[in-house]
Amino acid sequence: MSDKMARLKIDGIEEEIVLPVYSGSTGPVVIDIRKLVNEGVFTYDPGFLSTASCESEITYIDGEAGVLLHRGYPIEQLAEKSNFLETSYLLLNGELPSPEEMNDFENSIRYHTMVDESIHQFLLGFPRTAHPMAMLCGVVSALSAFYHDDLDIEKDDHRLLAAHRVIAKMPTLAAMCYKHGIGQPSMYPLNPLGLAENFLRMMFGTPCEEYKASPILANALDTLFLLHADHEQNASTSTVRLASSSGSNPYACIASGIAALWGPAHGGANEAVLDMLGEIGDESRISEFIGRAKDKHDPFRLMGFGHRVYKNYDPRATVIRGICDEVLDELGVGNDPLFRIAKRLEKIALEDDYFIERKLFPNVDFYSGIILKAIGIPTSMFTVIFAMGRTPGWIAHWHEMLSEPYRIGRPRQLYTGKTHRDYPA
């Protein structure tokens, strides 16, 4: 696969170091630096801006061009023609399913939606005020206690079963965390329903009366899950891979991904968007906040704007923007002050030189926060929804990594601390 060579000359090292250069099926060339360590040299790349941590066939992103492909299919086409479960199958298996394969996959997901009853008891140990991400992290990790001894991660069929289980159980667990927080009984999944519809029922239904989700809202949520399903080696997926590289239990590894997702620079951004809109409070204060975002001495950033990889419009944001309008129309809340602030903010930022020059476009979290708020999902559950959407991506990367020979992830460092010194006598 190496078709070129890179030559590295380091002052003080006599021999030139020759490194293979690889070309992927598309995207930038990659210098293979693995043998540098034999020369006593490390590379330094905090934040991994220039580092490919693995080889993968799942997702391709061209941030400059605003392209996102899953197994080659553009996200816009998947959002229009596919659905969350079919896209999950695609991520996991590499190809779109035949009708029979899809039927089997859906049945398997339905079959695994329930969780062990003791998970209910486990949740009772959390304070009601706990953040749902704290609870989700705990209950997903707890699944490892139920599925460990008979799980052989070296076997393909065991890995696929674990993947189906975690995709199927995540909506049940997410809704259980919410219900615990508000003191209502958990709703069991109702398997004839589609995944998003089932989730809405487990969130908003009670055992006392029938709940019927609006098909427009269920579809919007399904597309939102699909748009979050994978995003190559982002912080949470890389965390899942790193945790998995030691051969750990997959549910514990997914819990580590949930922990990485929680922060406001990653999955927590949709929650931060709504907090920010609430803080702005009134259209008259938008320019004050835009001014703060531009001020180098103020740590404030416009939440929901900018992306580490997309330096063009995020293709997911284009899709979700349309869904956002549909949902606001369906619910008749477009004139709500919060949504008006969001729309004004989007317009101003898109026209402002500071944001244009830095290519800071509204990202997927800007719109997903608005949609979720309109559907009635509380802000603290936003990142949980992101985690549900990202689960197929995490587990597909885990499955891919374990399908090939792999090594434990072990980065090195540029040490700048004290050198050897003796303990005082």
Check: CB of residue 75 under 8 Å from CB of residue 68. Answer: yes
CA distance 409 to 54: 10
Check: CB of residue 55 under 8 Å from CB of residue 303. Answer: no
393 binds ligand CMC (CB under 6 A): no
- In the complex with ligand CMC, the residue whose CB is nearer, 175 or 302, is 302
Judge whether 164 counts as a catalytic residue. no
Judge whether 420 counts as a catalytic residue. no
CA distance 213 to 200: 6
Centre a 10 Å sphere on the Cβ of residue 246 and count the other Cβ atoms it contains. Answer: 10
301 binds ligand CMC (CB under 6 A): yes
Q: What is the DSSP string of 169-224?
A: HHHHHHHHHHHHHHTPPPPPP-TTS-HHHHHHHHHH-BTTB-----HHHHHHHHHH
CA distance 181 to 194: 25
- In the complex with ligand CMC, the residue whose CB is nearer, 218 or 269, is 269
Catalytic residue among 222, 365, 397, 399: 365
Among 137, 177, 277, 360, binds ligand CMC (CB under 6 A): 360
Q: Which amino acid is at 26?
A: T
Catalytic residue among 266, 314, 397, 399: 266
Residue nearest to ligand CMC (CB): 306
205 binds ligand CMC (CB under 6 A): no
Interface mask toward ligand CMC for 98-137; x: CB under 6 A: ----------------------------------------
CA distance 289 to 293: 6
233 binds ligand CMC (CB under 6 A): no
Range in contact with ligand CMC (rule: CB under 6 A) among 66-74, 147-155, 174-182, 358-366: 358-366
234 binds ligand CMC (CB under 6 A): yes
Sign of CA dihedral 299, 304, 305, 309: positive
Q: Which amino acid is at 199?
A: F
267 binds ligand CMC (CB under 6 A): yes
Among 198, 363, 368, 391, binds ligand CMC (CB under 6 A): 363
- In the complex with ligand CMC, the residue whose CB is nearer, 257 or 304, is 304
Question: Which residues of this chain interact with ligand CMC, rule CB under 6 A?
Answer: 231, 234, 265-267, 269, 293, 301-308, 358, 360, 363, 365
